[in-house]
Structure 1
Amino acid sequence: GSEAAALALGAAAGRSAPIAAAATVATLGGLPAAEEEPRTAFTPFAKSQTEYDIVVVCKYAHNFLCHRHSCCDFRHGPEGDPSCWDEIYRFEICCRPVEQIPRQAKAQFARQVAHQLWKRSLWFKPRICHPDGGNVVQPALPSPAPNGTASTVLARGNFFAVVMTRSAAFRLGGRAQGIAQTWARRLPRGSVAFATEDTEVPASQRPAWVRIFRIPCPYYWLLDCNTYTASIYLGLYGLRRMLWEQPRARWFMACDDDVYLNPYMLARFLRAFDSGQAICVGHHESAARPLLGYWSGIVCSNSAVRLLDRHLEGATREAVYQRLGYTAGDFMISKCLWDLGVNIIDLTNFFGGHWPFPGGISTQAATFHRVRSRGDFEALDRVLFNFSLVGLLPPELLWKSAHGLPRRKK
């Protein structure tokens, strides 16, 4: 059966421990994938493929994709994928034993297959999480205070952020250092945790004021654990650990390590909502895809995170069994929330845009994206909290001033 095939797949790739997985081919349909250009977003996955990953992907494709010509007809149907896998069927690896294919050809094929799996994983249909009707046990939370002050909304114990990152980001000048020295310090100590692969961060690189969650490789994972694909499960287990440690917190946030958060603006947004309800807030991808992303921050109430925790691990496991885990962690979280009926609210002016902020730097926004170095984090921090500059200089001069660059003479 399919479970036996998955065991054979793991054995062929050299995995020592048995893998209780059903490696099946998912037939997907629905709306197009995310608006971001797929190859650009997929690049980190392609670059981080290891020799082990290449073997696993090639074996998977050879066993489950190469000879499924009939799938192409369905994918061209009105509800199917408009593209096709014809290029995979014609590839040399589908016609010869994997062991006879040169390494370079296998690597190219593995990237191609992984890219196709990744694109199909981001379609809006079908469901990945299914409501079971069960009640989620709530802790004895204090009475919600929607009209509280900004300081009380994010007071100690009320708000916690989980940042997805890699251990390399803790190097001098890296993103993790930038977060730790800027917006993390505007929150109570311990309110921010970095979820990273199960790798030791040298003591000299561990920033104060924040925590580090080392996430071990799940038992069901089929690929190498120390690559970019680990980002698929970091959000799941990072949020779970934070929830277990802080069961009475009102709000939780999950984001990428290139996101700058203005805590004071976030508090102003959250004042209008009841943390006792199952809701999430942020910035929708688009009108056609009302989902939230790590790139703009996913902020959810205690109730929503508890409901998510109940279902997300199963959905992630299925993504591994069906597509080797090639998907996006923020899509898994947001789509699961949507499937479970959680109210996902799009907030006007919540998201301040992508670096270098061509439309200007909004002092009213809660999050900003693509802030990729400690220097950029510190510069943006100076812009937002040096009110003597804001409103007096145009955006380009404001940004240069914050970086300490000389102004161009007229």
Structure 2
Amino acid sequence: MVSVAHSELPVAVIGAGPIGLAAAAELAGREQRVVVFEQGDRPAAAVRSWGHVRLFSPWSELTSPAAIALLERTGWTAPNRKRYPTGSDWIEGYLAPLADALGDRVRLNSRVVGVARLDRDLLVDSGREEQPFVLHIEAPDGSVERVPARAVIDASGTLDRPNPLGSEGYPVAGERVHADRIHYGMPNPDVAGNPCAGKAVAVVGSGASALTSLIALTSDAVYSPGSRVVWVLRRGVVGNSYGGGDLDELPARGALGTRVRKAVEAGRIEIVTGFRTVAVDSAGAGRVALVASDGRRVDELDQIVCVTGFRPELSFLSEVRLDLDQRLQAPSKLAPEIDPNWHSCGSVQPHGHDVLAQPETGLYLAGMKSYGRAPSFLAMTGFEQVRSIAAALAGDLESANRVQLSLPDTGVCGGAGLFDGAEGGGGCCAPAPSGPQPISLGLSPATR
């Protein structure tokens, strides 16, 4: 199957999202062969799913230097660096032009269903390291093509794998039966005939996506005298679910919690805490109810918005060797730095190719995929990840090892908080004898 020298094969990038396209730009800038496989019919399919959402990072933090260099050769005009784009703006002003600039390096309608070593499954040791990778690519008609590659960067993200309603990690009873009443992700308040307008809606989750959803549902465009919005939290108190407010070094991110707090004070949002869903029941008249493990119910709901986080898709990597943290499903060397039980304050250390590399030499996880189930990934983190990986693949280890990243503090201490009751202390914000220690890593963020 492989008729060219191993070294002449392209680097395969999985996913034509912000980080996958940045990886391709980095490799192209170093004159490395690269091919990007995107399962959608357009680039940045995941971003399109939340195109109505405004990011809490400005344009200056949403473009990679290598991508800018490539785009500028096409006559591209950079957006105002200080403005905050929506997801759709990000696509139209940067991601789609970047995919166009990469040209036939980007293959659409190409779903990666398997990654392996040539003629080797997971079990075989003999000659493994000398063999190229083979990606199994499924077309929309179901046909499968085998494509060789010298290295693989998996930047496929996690947004197409939302966590279910259940706090035990599995769908709860009735979750599939009532799927037409459950929306996974952030609702769009601008959709004509909005199914949430004037309705009873429960938002299940506690992160930035939950806050954004609550703001959308209580906006004047959607909220009316007949509306009811219930914020359902698994934790025992609201605590730092409002975020860092004025202490957040990303003002737009801090403003999310402030706006939600005001909506709560205005009576537009009910809060239910310590609620761990075990079932979605029919409540009559086409409505549903959430049922908790302690027997409590949130009744007469028209819609449920589930924003409980995401998890990586690992099935297509079942025949390559991975070293992932058991809990986060992130690279083992990175996991301690991003564990949400302890870290939520911009405390991630600089990391690049060596942290993201897998035991299968030449395979890297990058972008949201590298964070596994951790919720705190920021776009500029991914830009630096793929810069380092591309440098390593080009043989420039000096540049690859010189990782720099500067992450903004969230203004929230105590990590994810305790399982029940008061918020935890310590964690990444525990006071040090010399006071707060700035982290000097060279990048920044996007939204979740």
TM over 0.5, yes or no?
no
Higher fraction of helix = 1
TM-score, normalization: structure 2? 0.25
Relative to total residues, which structure has the larger strand share, 1 or 2?
A: 2
